[in-house]
A and B are shown apart, each in its own frame.
Chain A
Amino acid sequence: MAKDIDIFDQELHRAPTSERPFDFGVSPEHLKTITVTIDDREITVPFGTTILAAARQLGIQIPTLCYHDDLCIAGVCRICVVEVDKHRNLHASCAYPITEPIVIRTHSPAIREARRHVLDLMLSNHVGECYTCVRNGNCELQKLAHEYGVNFYRFGKAEGPKFPIDASSPALVRDMDKCILCRRCVRTCVDLQEVGVYHTMNRGEQTAIKTFLDQPMSDVVCINCGQCVNRCPTGALHGNDPSDELWGMIDDPTKHVVIQTAPAPRAAIGECFGLPPGTAVTRELNSALRHCGFDKVFDTNFAADLTIMEEGTELLLRLHKALVTKEPVFLPQFTSCSPGWVKYLEHFYPDKLDHLSSAKSPQQMFGAVIKTYYADLHGIDPADIVTVALMPCTAKKFERIRPEFYSSGYQDIDYVVTTREMAQMIKEVGVELPRMPKSGFDDPFGPATGSGVIFGATGGVMESAIRTVYELVTGTSVDRLFEQLRIMPVRGFEGIRYAELVIEKVGEVPPILRSLFDDWKWLEGVTLKTAIAHGTANAKRVMENIIAGGKLSECHFIEFMACPGGCLGGGGQPIPTNREIRAKRAEAIYAEDEGSEVRKSFENPAVQTLYKEFLTDGPCGHRSHSLLHTTYTQRSKKMI
C-alpha cells in the first residue's frame, strides 16, 4: 500500500492574486533566512515569513480580525498595523513578508491611535448589543474592544438594524448588521471551499457581503458546511440554533428523547469549557447529557459501523458487477456521510450522483433504526420518540429535513444540535462538563467502537472500510499489514490522498454475505484503489481529475468530506478552529480508537445483533434498502 500525494501538487486558488500566499518565484533567496528586530528583540525567520508570524514566534500578540490561519491573506481590517523601519506609513503585519533585515515596532503612539480608530470605526457601524449576541464572550471584536479599552463610541453608534436577518437556511443565520467586512466568509466560501455563495458587492460605503442577487440562503448553492460560521469573528454568521424547541421536548414527559453523539464533538466540546484542544470528554459528556434530561444517550459509532457494513457491501457489489458480470456500474463509489459534500455534488456535478453510495449517513441510519427496531424493542410509539443528534456539523441540520428521510414513516432525526449549541445547553443547566462523573452509552447500541470513532477525522471512513472489507474478503486481519491497525496512508491532513491496497489472497465468504456472493476468487490479485479528499475545493479537484480521465478516475472508492480536516473541523465545532486545533482533535480521536476494545465495524456486537434480529436479509438486503439507503436530488449551480 503506497501513499501518493504528489500528483495533486498544483494549487487551485480562486482568490485574487493579491490574496494568495506569497510567491517570490524560484530563486536562491527562497532558501534564505533573515534576521529582523521586533520590539528590540531579534529573530531569524525564513525568507517571506510575515511580520505577524514572526512576532507570534516571539510571543508578541498583534491583534488581528481579517486574518485567519486557514485563509489567504486579505490585509483589509488594518488592525494589525506595525511600524517598519522609518517608513512613513504603518504596514499590516499579516500581509508584510519579511525579505530583508528590518526593524519593526509593534506598539507606538501612532499604532495605538490607529488601532483604536479602527475599532471605533468598526463599532460605529456595528449594530446589536453584546448581551443578545450568540458570540457574547467569544467574539473577536468584543475581545479587542476590551483589550484596547474602548469606553465610548468615539464616532457615534449605528442606529437600528440596516439589514434584515436571513434565517431562511436550516443550517445558518446571517445577521449582516454585525458584519465588519473582514471577508473571512468570502475567502472561506470562494477560496477554501470553492462553493462561492458570497462575495463582496458594491463599493465604498455601500460595500456589503451578499449572496448572488441577494437571494436568501435557502435558495443559493450553499452546502451548509458552516465553515464561514466557524471563521466569522463576530456574530454576523451563526448556526440556526434549535435548543429552545429542544428544551420543550425534553421537558415534555410524554416524549422519549434520545440523543446520539458523534465522535467529533466529543473530541472538541471540552474546548468550550476551557479544556485544551484534544481533550476527549466522551464519558463525562454522557453524564452531562443525562443531567440535561435526555432519556437515552447513544453512540453514533454504532451507526457508523452499520454504514461501513452497508457501504462496504455496496462497494463489493459494484466491484462484482464491474469485474464479473460486466454490467454497467458507476465507479468510483463516493462516500455519502458528509451532507455538505452530498449537496455540493448535487449542485455542481448533478450528473455524477450515481457514484454516491446509496447508504444513508450514520446520523440518518441511526434515526431510522431508533424509530423502528428500538421502538419495537422497547414498545414505544415511534411518534413519541424524539431523536436528537449531537453533531459537529451544520449541514446535518439540512440533511435532517431532506424529504428522503422518512422511510420508517417518521422523520429519521428530529433535532440536530452542534457542538457549540450543546455546550451552551450544558452551561445552561449549570454543569461543569470536565468535572462530571464518567459514564457509558446506553444499550442496546453498545459501547464506542474505534472503527466508528475515526469517522470524525478525514480518512477515517476509508480506514474503517479497509479494516472491514479487507478482513471480510481475505479472512485475515489488516494488522498483518499495518501495525496496531494504524492505516497510515489514509491518515493525515494533505488535501487529497491516494492509496492502493493489493488483495493478494482471498478467504471464505463470511456467513453474513453469503446470500450475495459465492466466493471471492474474482478479487484475488485485485488492487483496490482509494482516494480521500477533504474540503470541497479539494473535492472539486478530484472531480475534475475524474472527469478528465486522470488517475483518480481509476479509483474504486473515494472518501469525501466537505470540511477541512473532516468532521473534527466541522462548521458546528468550537470557535476557533485552525490547523493546530484540528490536529489536536485528530490525536484525541485516534487515541480513543486505540483505547477501544472493538476496532472493526463487522465485529461490533450491536451491529451483529441488529443483522441477526432485525435486518435479517443482511447488508444491502431488502429491509436495509428501505430503511438505511436513500436517493439524491439533482440540483444545479444555475440559480436562474
Chain B
Amino acid sequence: MRIIARQQINDELTELMRQYGEERSALLPILHAMQDKYGFLSGLILQETAHALGIHPAEVEGVASFYSFFETDKRLGKYVIRLCQTISCNLAGKAQVARQLENELGIRFGETTNDGMFTLKYTNCLGMCDQGPALLINDRLFAKVTPNLVHQILRDCRRDFVKSVFPQVVPSDVRQSGPLLEHGIKDGAALEAALKNTPGQIIELIENAKLKGRGGAGFPTALKWKLAMDKVSDTKYVVCNADEGEPGTFKDRYLLYNHVGIIFDGMTIAGYTIGARKAYIYLRAEYRYMLRYLESEIKARRERGLLGEDILGKKGFDFDIEIRLGAGSYVCGEETALIESLEGQRGESRNRPPFPVDTGFFGNPTIVNNVETFAAAAMICARGDVWFRKHGTEISTGTKLFSISGNCERPGIYELPFGISVNEMLRTVGGEDAKAVQIGGAAGQCLARHEFDQAIAYEGVPSGGSIIVFGPDTDMLNVARNFSEFFVEECCGQCTPCRVGNVKILEGIRLLEEGRCSILYLDELVKLSRTLRNISKCGAGQSSGNAFTTIMEHFKDEILGRVHTVAGEN
C-alpha cells in the first residue's frame, strides 16, 4: 500500500515541480496542492516533498505546522468551515453562530464529523468585518451569517452548492468613494503614462506627491523604490503585499476584486522603475477565492502586451506577475516574513537591517508594497503629483481607504482624506455614541472619547485602514482579550518577548476577568508591553502590546476589581 502511495505522491511531486520549479520557493504551492488532494499533509507527503526538494523532512514539517491553513495531524473534512473569530465578527454575534454550527453538526470546533464531511475551525480575520459574522467554507465566503442561516448553509454544502441561494461573490459595501476609487482610468493607461518618463523621473514624481506606504508604517514609497533602483543587481523583485491580515481591514480585498488593473499598473511601473523583471502578489489564503479571477486578469494583460516582453513596445522592458498564496499567517504581512514565506520558509521575520531593498527575495533587492500603495503610485503617474497632494495634509498626502466596522450604523469601505478627525469619521459612519475606537487593527491603538479630536494621519494617529468602533455597551476587557488571543495565536514564535510576553498578558487579562489582579501586577504587565514594543524582532511583535496598553490606560475603572467572572465568548 505504502509503496503505491509513495509512487503516486512522487509522480504528483514531479508534476508540481514542473509547474512551480525545483527551488525551495515551490514548497508552499506544493503543500497547498497536496492538501487539496489528500485532505491533509501526512508524514509520507511531508517526507517525500522534502526529499524531492532536497531539504530535510523536519524542515518541511516545520513549515507545514507553521501555517494555520495546513493540517498535518488528521484528514480534514470535505468542507472546512472556518469561522472568523476576530473582534468585529465577535461584536456582530459570532458566538451564537459558532454554537449553532456545533449544534447542527454535533461536533466541537477543531473536530471533524464522523462522515468526513465537515471540519469546524476558527480563523482570524476573513476581511468581512463590515458584514460579520463571516465564515469561509473551502473557497466560498459567507457574510452576515445568522444562527438561523447555519442550517441552510450546511444543507447547501451537502448538495455541493448546486442551486445555492447564497451568492458566489459577496458584494462589498463602498459607502464613500473618492478620487482613487473613482479614477476612471483604463487598464494600462497609468502604465502608458508612466513609461513616457525615465525611472528617475517617476521616483521624482512620487517623491513630490509625498506618497507614503499604505500598509500602515508609512515609509516613503519613493525612497524605498530609489534604494532598490540604485542597487546594482541583475535580479530584482517587486512584491505586492496582499496579505491583508490586520483585523478589521478589508479594503485590499475590495481593491483587488474591483480595481486590479490599476494595481497591476502600479506593480509594472515599480518594476520599470527599479529594474525588476518579476513580481509576486502574495495573496493571503483567506482570499483564495479570488485566485482564479486574478490569474485570468494577468493572462488577459499578457495578451494585451501589458505584461511579458517589450511591454507597450518599450524595448527590453520585460515584466511578469505571478501570484503566490499564503497559508494563514498574520505575521506574513510583515515584509520580511512575507519574503521568507515566498522562499518556502516559516513565515518568520528577518533581522533588519539589512532591509529587503538590499537583501530581499533570495537575497536580491526587493520592494514590498501594499496593494493600495501600488494603486496610489499608478494614479500619481496618471494624474500627477499636484492632483494627489490636493487631498490630505501636508505630511500625509492623498486619500486613504478605510475599512470601518464595529458598532456603527454604516460600516463599510470609505475613501477619506488623511487628516480627518476621529469625530468626523464617526459622524460619517454613524457611530457618534462610540465609547472607544480601535485605529489600525489589533496592532493599533485604542482611543477613548477624549481623544476623538485627533486626526488620522501619519503625523497623528496612523492607520493602515482598519477602524473598529466600540459602542457604549462594549466590554473593553473583552476587546483586550480578543486582541491578546489573536497575538498569542498569530505570533510566529521566534522571539522571546512576543512569544512568551503575549501569553503573560493574556494570563493577566484572565486574572482581571476574575477580579484577581493587583494594580502592581497590572503595571508590571504594562511595563512588559513596553518591552515588547522596544525589543520584539518585528513590527507585529512590537505593536502586539499596543491595544492592551491603551485599553488599560483608558478603562482601568471598568476593568479592575471585577466581582464576578465575565463569561468568555469562546
| Chain A residues in the interface with B (C-beta under 8 A) | 14, 16-18, 20, 22-25, 27, 73-79, 81, 89-90, 92, 95-97, 99, 110, 113-114, 117-118, 121-122, 124-125, 154-156, 180-181, 183, 190, 195-207, 210-213, 637-640
22 residue pairs A–B, Cβ–Cβ below 8 Å: A14-B56, A16-B346, A17-B359, A17-B362, A18-B340, A18-B351, A89-B535, A121-B497, A155-B504, A196-B57, A199-B58, A201-B62, A203-B65, A203-B493, A204-B489, A205-B499, A205-B503, A212-B56, A637-B51, A640-B2, A640-B43, A640-B47
Q: How far is the CB of A490 from chain B (nearest CB, A)?
A: 31
* CB-contact partner of B504 in A75, A90, A121, under 8 A: A121
A76 near B491 (CB under 8 angstroms)? no
Beyond contacts A16-B348, A81-B535, A203-B493: 18 other A-B pairs, Cβ-Cβ < 8 A, are A16-B345, A16-B346, A18-B336, A18-B348, A24-B359, A27-B232, A74-B494, A76-B495, A156-B507, A199-B59, A200-B493, A203-B329, A204-B491, A205-B502, A207-B499, A212-B46, A213-B46, A640-B47
Q: Are A23 and B346 in contact (CB under 8 A)?
A: no
| In the complex, chain A residues whose CB is within 8 Å of the CB of B501 | 117, 121
Measured between beta carbons, the chain A residues less than 8 angstroms from B61 are: 199, 201, 210, 212-213
Q: A17-B343, A73-B351, A117-B528 are in contact. Are A212 and B47 (CB under 8 A)?
A: yes
Knowing A17-B340, A73-B351, A89-B542, say if A199 contacts B62 (CB, 8 Å).
Answer: yes
Taking a contact as CB atoms under 8 Å apart, the answer to whether B495 and A77 are in contact is yes
Highest count of chain B CB atoms <10 Å: which of A18, A73, A99, A195: A18
**Please, which residues of chain B bring their CB within 8 A of the CB of A122?**
496, 500
Residue of B nearest to A94 (CB): B351
Q: Contact check, B531 vs A114: say whether CB atoms are below 8 A apart.
A: yes
Q: Is the CB–CB distance between B353 and A110 below 8 Å?
A: no
A75–B527 alpha-carbon span in the complex (Å)? 22
Q: Which of A27, A155, A638 has the most CB of B within 10 A?
A: A155
B409 at the interface (CB under 8 A from A): no
Report B-chain residues with C-beta under 8 Å of the C-beta of A196: 55-59
Question: Complex Cα distance A640/B50, Å?
Answer: 13
A203-B58 in contact (CB<8A)? no
Name the residue on A nearest B490 (C-beta): A204
- Expressed in whole angstroms, the Cα–Cα distance for A99 and B340 within the complex equals 23
Q: Is the CB of B537 within 8 A of A118?
A: no
In angstroms, Cα B5 to Cα A245, docked, is 46
Write the B324-345 contact mask toward A (1 if CB under 8 angstroms, else 0). 0000010000001001100101
User: Contact: B329 with A16, CB < 8 Å?
Assistant: no
Closest to A117 in B: B531
Q: Given the known A-B contacts A92-B351, A199-B61, A212-B61, are A78 and B343 also in contact in the complex, defined by CB atoms under 8 Å? A: no
How far, in Å, is B118 (CB) from chain A's closest CB?
24
With A78-B495, A213-B43 already in contact, the answer to whether A154 and B524 are too (CB < 8 A) is: yes
Contact of B58 among A17, A76, A197, A204 (CB under 8 A): A197
Could you say which of A16, A79, A81, A125 has the most chain B C-beta atoms within 10 Å of its C-beta? Answer: A16
User: How far is B62's CA from A190's CA once the two chains are assembled, in angstroms?
Assistant: 12
**B353 (CB) vs chain A CBs: closest residue:** A97
Show the binding face of B for A, using Cβ within 8 Å: 2, 43-44, 46-47, 51, 55-59, 61-62, 65-66, 232-233, 329, 336, 339-340, 343, 345-346, 348-351, 353-354, 358-359, 362-363, 488-497, 499-504, 507, 524, 527-528, 530-531, 533-537, 542
Residue of A nearest to B505 (CB): A155
Given A196-B57, A203-B329, the answer on whether A113 and B499 have CB atoms closer than 8 Å is: no
- Whole-angstrom distance between the alpha carbons of A333 and B533 in the complex? 57
Closest to A20 in B: B363
Nearest-CB residue, chain A, relative to B340: A16
Given the known inter-chain contacts A18-B351, A201-B62, please indicate yes or no for A76 contacting B494, CB distance below 8 A: yes
Sorted from nearest, which 4 A-B pairs have the closest CB atoms?
Answer: A196-B56, A207-B493, A18-B350, A199-B62
Asked whether, in the complex, the Cβ of B56 is within 8 Å of the Cβ of A114, the reply is no
Contacts of A110 on B, CB cut-off 8 Å?
A: 534
A90–B534 touching, CB < 8 Å: yes
| A77: chain B residues within 8 A (beta carbon) | 495-496
Please indicate the chain B residues that have their CB under 8 angstroms from the CB of A76 in the complex. Answer: 494-496, 537
Q: Are A212 and B499 in contact (CB under 8 A)?
A: no
Name the residue on A nearest B541 (C-beta): A78
Nearest CB of chain A from residue B57's CB, rounded to whole Å: 4
- Distance A205 CA – B491 CA, assembled complex (angstroms): 8
Contact present for B493 and A640 (CB under 8 Å) = no
CA distance A637 to B233 in the complex (A): 38
Distance from A539 Cβ to chain B, minimum over Cβ atoms (Å): 15
Kindly identify which residue among A118, A198, A202, A639 contacts B47, using a CB–CB cutoff of 8 Å. A639
Do residues B500 and A121 form an inter-chain contact, with CB atoms below 8 A? yes
- On whether the beta carbons of B58 and A211 are closer than 8 Å, the reply is yes
A113 close to B531 (CB less than 8 A) = yes
Chain B residues, CB < 8 A from A212 = 43, 46-47, 56-58, 61
Q: When the two chains form their complex, are residues A75 and B537 in contact, meaning their CB atoms are under 8 A apart? A: yes
Instruction: Specify which of A89, A92, A96, A201 is in contact with B533 (CB 8 Å cutoff).
Output: A89
Collect the chain A residues with CB atoms within 8 Å of residue B542's CB.
Answer: 89
Residue picked from A27, A196, A212, most chain B C-beta under 10 Å? A212
Complex CA distance for A201 and B55, rounded to whole angstroms: 16
CA distance A616 to B531 in the complex (A): 73
**B343 surroundings in chain A (CB, below 8 A):** 16-17
**B492: which A residues are within 8 A, CB to CB?**
203-204
Q: A73-B351, A124-B500 are in contact. Are A23 and B359 (CB under 8 A)?
A: yes
Q: How far is the CA of A353 from the CA of B310 in the complex (A)?
A: 54
A89 neighbours in B (Cβ, 8 Å):
533-535, 542
Min C-beta distance of B328 to chain A, whole Å: 10
* Closest partner residue, chain B, to A92 (CB atom): B351
A203 to B64 CA separation, bound complex (whole angstroms): 10
Chain B residue at minimal CB-CB distance from A95? B351
Q: Which residue of A lies closest to B339 (CB)?
A: A17
Q: In the complex, are the beta carbons of A200 and B535 less than 8 A apart?
A: no
A78 & B345 in contact (Cβ 8 Å cutoff): no
A181 to B340, CA, bound (A): 19
Shortest distance from the beta carbon of B236 to any chain A beta carbon, whole Å: 12
* CB of B348 to closest CB in A, whole Å: 8
Q: Considering the chains assembled together, what is the distance between the CA atoms of A89 and B363 in angstroms?
A: 25
Considering the complex, give the chain A residue whose CB is closest to the CB of B350.
Answer: A18
Residues of B within 8 A of A24 (CB): 354, 358-359
Distance of A159 from chain B, by nearest CB (Å): 13
Bound complex: CA A77 to CA B527 (Å): 18
Considering the chains assembled together, what is the distance between the CA atoms of A109 and B517 in angstroms? 26
* Minimal beta-carbon separation of B259 from chain A (angstroms): 33
Q: Report how far A27 CA is from B354 CA in the complex, Å.
A: 15
- Residues of chain A with a CB closer than 8 A to B59's CB: 14, 190, 196, 199
Query: A180 contacts which chain B residues (CB < 8 A)?
Result: 496
Collect the chain B residues with CB atoms within 8 Å of residue A18's CB: 336, 340, 348-351
Shortest CB–CB separation between residue A234 and chain B, in angstroms? 13
In angstroms, Cα B542 to Cα A14, docked, is: 28
Instruction: Tell me which residues across on chain B come within 8 A of A25, comparing CB atoms.
Output: 232-233
Closest-CB distance, A140 to chain B (whole angstroms): 14
Beta-carbon contact of A92 and B493 below 8 Å: no
Least distance between A215 CB and chain B CB atoms (Å): 9
B494 vs chain A, min Cβ distance (A): 5
Expressed in whole angstroms, the Cα–Cα distance for A212 and B530 within the complex equals 37
State A639–B48 Cα separation when bound (angstroms): 10
CA distance A587 to B500 in the complex (A): 44
Neighbouring A residues of B345 by C-beta, 8 Å:
16
**Residue contact A199 to B56, C-beta cutoff 8 Å:** yes
Q: Roughly how many angstroms separate A25 CA and B357 CA in the complex, as a whole number?
A: 12
Q: Contacts A76-B496, A203-B492: A17 and B350 contacting too (C-beta < 8 A)?
A: yes
A118 touches B497 (CB 8 A): yes
Cβ of B499 to closest chain A Cβ, rounded Å: 6
A119 (CB) vs chain B CBs: closest residue: B496
Complex contact B491–A203 (CB within 8 A): yes
Residues from chain B with a CB closer than 8 A to the CB of A199 are 56, 58-59, 61-62
Distance of A210 Cα from B126 Cα, bound (Å): 31
**Shortest Cβ distance from residue A111 to the other chain B in the assembled complex, whole angstroms:** 9
Cα A79 to Cα B534 with chains together (Å): 12
Alpha-carbon gap, A638 to B10, bound state (A): 13
